[in-house]
Structure 1
């Protein structure tokens, strides 16, 4: 649905230039929620604004729905932009217009009749849960309500793609979760392709199918969220995960264990239904190895449960090694960490 091919974006002229994106490529499939995460200044906002050509790439191709946008004339580009909705970090609402009129604005621009606009806006107000706020102005709304107006407005033109530019970073955690739940519902209900950028791993973990990690204008790691989250390779990815989860306690654990004599320390990662199985206890009964759980976590990646355990194993070398091999045979990821 979205393809970026060798995108480069350079700001400035002659000797005073800044390269925001460099030969960046990615492919977003129809109907998926695709996340891009990175630190401030990594190129996230430039990337998402290149998709609807709010920022025109210096080099490269932008394909949306099978159409290469950089080759289009002004009128054709405007038509294609109607298929791309966008919501913003700071809402970008018309302060002098009501909730109803903000949502109706895209319909007015395309010349929809009053009856058509009313039917569409009423449907969208119901979808985002703002029926009782239709006559209010943005200043009378909470941050979460403003973002719901922004989402409804972005959906007014029945887009094929929804772009989210840090859509939850100005919201508190509880409101963030409600907005993420709404986006997930919209994705499933309409099979709408959603691409979002964020600096919050929690956002990626909660609703995304795949994720790309952007650093210094390029993609340094990409794949299914479960794979990237549980087996990060790049140091930037590890930073985000450690800051977001129990992994940040790893340093404290290492300090606490420093100097202690453990037979073997391992980290076991569970995914899916295996998260709730008693694999470890079953295996150690068979190998006659004792164990102690030093650290543990159970959570979800989108709808998929996962678990992480840091465990000390006590027993003969052969028995401990057999325990590790048997855990691996049960398709668990086992990492020796001492």
Structure 2
């Protein structure tokens, strides 16, 4: 649905040049929720604005729905943009217009008949749960309600793609979760392709199918969220995960707990149904090894549960080795770290 080929964006003149994107390539499949995560200044906002050509790339190609946007004329590009919805961090609502008129705005610009506009806006008000707020103005709404208006407006033209530019970073955690659930419902109901950029690992973990990590204008790691999240390779990815992987519902114990010199320190990762099975206790009963859990968390990646444990094993070397082998045979990821 979205394909970026060798995307480069350079700002400034010869004396002072800033390269925001450098030869970046990326593919987003139809119907998936794809996340791009990176620190401030990594190139996230430039990337998403290049997709609908609000920023025209210096080099490279932008394909959406099989059409290369960089080759289109002004009128053709406007028509194609109508099928690319966008929601923003700070909502970008018309302060002097009601909720109804904000949602209707793109349809009004396209010359859509009033009867059609009314039917479509009412559908969208119901979709985002704002039927009772139709006649209110943005100043009368909460942050979450404003973002729901922004989502409804982005969907007004029945887009094929929805771009989300840090759509939850101005919201509190509870409101963030409600907006993420709404985006997930929209994706499932309409098979809408969603590309979102964020600096919050929680957002990626909650709703995305795949993720790309952007750093200094390039993609440094990419793949299914479960793979990238549980087996990060690049130091930037590890920074995000170490900072955000343990949430309020997780358990985190000090990793520096003193342990005997003869103990072996191991990281064990559970994914899916294995998370809730007593695999560890079954194995140690079989091998006779003693263990202590030094650090642990249980959470979900989208709808898939996972668990991560740091465990200290004590016993004969052969028994500990057998324990690790049996854990691996039960499809757990096992890493000796000390």
Q: Same fold (TM over 0.5)?
A: yes
* 8 Å contact from structure 2 (residues 252, 297) kept in 1: no
Q: Which residue of 2 aligns with 1:255?
A: 256
Listed as ranges, the matches of 1:37-56 within 5 Å are 37-56=37-56
Post-superposition CA distance 1:101-128 (Å, at most 9, x none): 0000011011111110000000000000
Mapped pair 1:332 → 2:316: no
SS at structure 2 position matched to 1:54: coil
* 8 Å contact from structure 2 (residues 252, 295) kept in 1: no
Post-superposition CA distance 1:293-331 (Å, at most 9, x none): 122111000000000111111110100000001111111
Listed as ranges, the matches of 1:171-320 within 5 Å are 171-246=171-246, 253-257=254-258, 260-320=260-320
Post-superposition CA distance 1:204-245 (Å, at most 9, x none): 000000000000000000000000000000000000001102
Listed as ranges, the matches of 1:115-134 within 5 Å are 115-134=115-134
Instruction: Give me the whole-angstrom Cα distance separating, in 1, the residues matched to 2:171 and 2:255.
Output: 34
Q: CA deviation at 1:260?
A: 4.1
Instruction: Give me the whole-angstrom Cα distance separating, in 2, the residues matched to 1:232 and 1:262.
Output: 28
SS at structure 2 position matched to 1:188: helix
Q: Which residue of 1 aligns with 2:86?
A: 86
Instruction: Give me the whole-angstrom Cα distance separating, in 1, the residues matched to 2:198 and 2:13.
Output: 29
Instruction: Give me the whole-angstrom Cα distance separating, in 2, the residues matched to 1:337 and 1:135.
Output: 59
Post-superposition CA distance 1:52-101 (Å, at most 9, x none): 00000000000000000000000000000011000000000000000000
Instruction: Give me the whole-angstrom Cα distance separating, in 1, the residues matched to 2:13 and 2:229.
Output: 39
Q: Which residue of 2 aligns with 1:34?
A: 34
Listed as ranges, the matches of 1:32-181 within 5 Å are 32-181=32-181
Q: Which runs of 5+ in 2 are unaligned?
A: none
Instruction: Give me the whole-angstrom Cα distance separating, in 2, the residues matched to 1:272 and 1:116.
Output: 45
Q: Which runs of 5+ in 1 are unaligned?
A: none
Please provide the CA RMSD for this pair.
1.5
Instruction: Give me the whole-angstrom Cα distance separating, in 2, the residues matched to 1:151 and 1:157.
Output: 11
Q: CA deviation at 1:250?
A: 12
Instruction: Give me the whole-angstrom Cα distance separating, in 1, the residues matched to 2:118 and 2:254.
Output: 59
SS at structure 2 position matched to 1:256: coil
Instruction: Give me the whole-angstrom Cα distance separating, in 2, the residues matched to 1:146 and 1:122.
Output: 16
Give TM-score scaled by structure 1 length. Answer: 0.97
The count of residues paired between Structure 1 and Structure 2 equals 336
* 8 Å contact from structure 1 (residues 262, 312) kept in 2: no
Q: Which residue of 2 aligns with 1:16?
A: 16
SS at structure 1 position matched to 2:56: coil
Q: CA deviation at 1:253?
A: 3.2
Q: CA deviation at 1:256?
A: 2.8
Q: CA deviation at 1:262?
A: 4.3
